[in-house]
Amino acid sequence: SQLGLSAQDQMRLGRWLAIVGIRQDFVSNNVQGSPAEDTRATTGRAALMYELPFGLTPYVTYAQSFNPIFGSGICATNCKAQQGEMVELGFKYNPVPGTAINGAIYDTIEKNRLAADPGNPLLSIQTGKVRIRGAELEVISRVTPDLDLIGAYAYVDARVESGDNVGKRVETVPQHQASLWAKYRLVAHGLPGV
């Protein structure tokens, strides 16, 4: 079971925007055949943005994460909660109406991430610590009143920093990822909202 209490505030002073938040989690994990485990965690986040007059909004953000892992048959014993810290620098840019360009670089540290157990395919192991660094860029543009295009690209360098696989890439995290989406509104064809 998990109970979380959180508080967040968004503040504005002229062109400055700030967000601060805090969360307290209470977790109880009771798996038959394993000792009961009670965990508490306090995490927070903070972000600061500045709206420039020509449509550019740079920002910086810091966040902590806490993700308990429940269920039997995942780890040999109770899994430790996955915890992380992230710092991100980025921007949001609206050069013309109907177009948005968003970009960011980030650095994330995660502890206790699940990975496949090479000795037993039915169980998982927890890596000591992984570091995920990356950059992403997204462009959203209204091409016609009925058509939007969304293109995105992300580069991710995710590596194990401690544990058995130091220096190796983190499994299931692609190094390059790209997408291109088209959204077409059928209003002109008599189908508003589709």
**Residue 188 backbone dihedrals phi, psi, to 5 degrees:** -65, -15
Helix (H, G, I), strand (E, B) or coil at 188: helix
- CA 105-51-61 angle, 5° bins: 35
For the chain, give the percent of residues with pLDDT over 90.
Answer: 61
Using a 10 angstrom Cβ sphere, with 0-12 exposed, 13-18 middle and 19 or more buried, the burial of residue 130 is buried
- Return the structure tokens found at 127: 């890596």
Nearest CA to 136 out of 91, 100, 96 is that of 91
Output the CA–CA distances (angstroms, integers) from residue 163 to 85, 118, 125, in the order listed: 18, 14, 10
pLDDT per position in the chain (194 positions), as tens? 889 999 999 999 999 999 999 999 998 877 677 777 788 999 999 999 999 999 999 999 999 999 888 765 566 667 788 899 999 999 999 999 999 999 999 999 999 887 777 777 777 777 778 999 999 999 999 999 899 999 999 999 999 888 777 888 988 899 999 999 999 988 878 888 88
Q: What is the pLDDT of residue 77?
A: 64
Output the CA–CA distances (angstroms, integers) from residue 147 to 11, 40, 181, 182, in the order listed: 35, 48, 10, 7
Residue 164 DSSP symbol = T
